[in-house]
Amino acid sequence: MTCGAAASLSITFRALVSSRDDVILATAPFFPEYRVFAEGAGASFDAVPPDTENFGVNLDALEKKLTDRAAAVIINSPNNPTGAIIPRKTLEGLARLLERKSAEYGHAIYIVSDEPYREITYGKEVPYIPAIYRDTVICYSYSKSLSLPGERIGYIALPDGITDCDRLYYAICGAGRSLGYVCAPALMQKAVARCAGAVSDISPYRRNRDLLYSALTAFGYECVKPDGAFYLFIKAPGGDSAAFGEKAKARNLLVVPGDDFGCPGYLRISYCVPYEVVKRSLPVFGELI
């Protein structure tokens, strides 16, 4: 058990990294703090260019980035900021690529699966990655599935048969102590144990998604319909996400430019707000395009 997903990722990267030459890779678009966590562990961070057609994993671009210093590839599905779910076929292709490169380089290249949005889906399957690729470390947070943001409770899971399981387990335990995450809050450990298997009602997210997506695409915005999480990732009209963000802010509409997500020219919109807030935003979006 850990103090949330941030602790899980920080600990995992610290456990996997053995040299400042090691590299942690993420496929864009990605959660910006991955870079901070990787560099804090002493590794280099490298972003793989996005597949902007559907925001899946660009396997050809990833292969070009993989070297013998690659320690891990971060996967986030459903994704923040796009809401995209990586299909099983793509994950199988990723597994074959990493198996081949691990054999070529003589060491395991792990998948770090960041899964805070695993239960927030709108009918599409979220494949269980360890069943596809053995060398997967799961980093999980209860903040989204149980609507507990800020309570800092999650876990790290190592599947049976993962390469160097004992060494990795003890490295994770040691990394947790060295980073100050000695024990997740005892009260929250007891609380989530009693809530195991429960999921918050996500129907308001679906309702907001459907309204926002249908309205924005009718206005002429370009985006991929999210299959999970609670974000919409739109192409900035005119291509300048920062300029669009400033115009939106002047109208009391807050969006996040895609630059830090590794996708300049795009914008993240969060719809985990009351339905009436989404409705009030629509005229502003209409004026801005």
Q: Is 43 left (phi over 0), alpha (psi -120 to 50) or beta?
A: beta
pLDDT in tens, the chain (289 residues): 999 999 999 999 999 999 999 999 999 999 999 999 999 999 999 999 999 999 999 999 999 999 999 999 999 999 999 999 999 999 999 999 999 999 999 999 999 999 999 999 999 999 999 999 999 999 999 999 999 999 999 999 999 999 999 999 999 999 999 999 888 999 999 999 999 889 999 999 999 999 999 999 999 999 999 999 999 999 999 999 999 999 999 999 999 999 999 999 999 999 999 999 999 999 999 999 9
pTM exceeding 0.75: yes
**What CATH superfamily classification does 203-288 receive?**
Aspartate Aminotransferase, domain 1 (3.90.1150.10)
One-letter amino acid at 8 equals S
Res 197: pLDDT: 85
Task: Give residues with Cβ within 8 angstroms of 247, minimum separation 6.
Answer: 288
CATH class of 4-194: alpha beta
Res 196: pLDDT: 85
DSSP codes, 153-217: -EEEE--TT-TTHHHHHHHHHHHHHHTT--S--HHHHHHHHHTTT-----HHHHHHHHHHHHHHH
CB 66 within 8 A of CB 75: no
Res 74: pLDDT: 99
Task: Give residues with Cβ within 8 angstroms of 289, minimum separation 6.
Answer: 219, 220, 221, 237
Indicate the domain borders of the chain: 4-194, 203-288
Say what the alpha-carbon torsion angle 273, 261, 117, 147 is, to the nearest 10 degrees.
-40
- Give Cα 281 distance to the centre of its chain: 26
What tens digit of pLDDT does each residue of 122-142 get?
Answer: 999 999 999 999 999 999 999
Res 195: pLDDT: 93
The whole-angstrom separation of Cα 244 and Cα 65 is: 32
Res 274: pLDDT: 98
Task: Give residues with Cβ within 8 angstroms of 210, minimum separation 6.
Answer: none
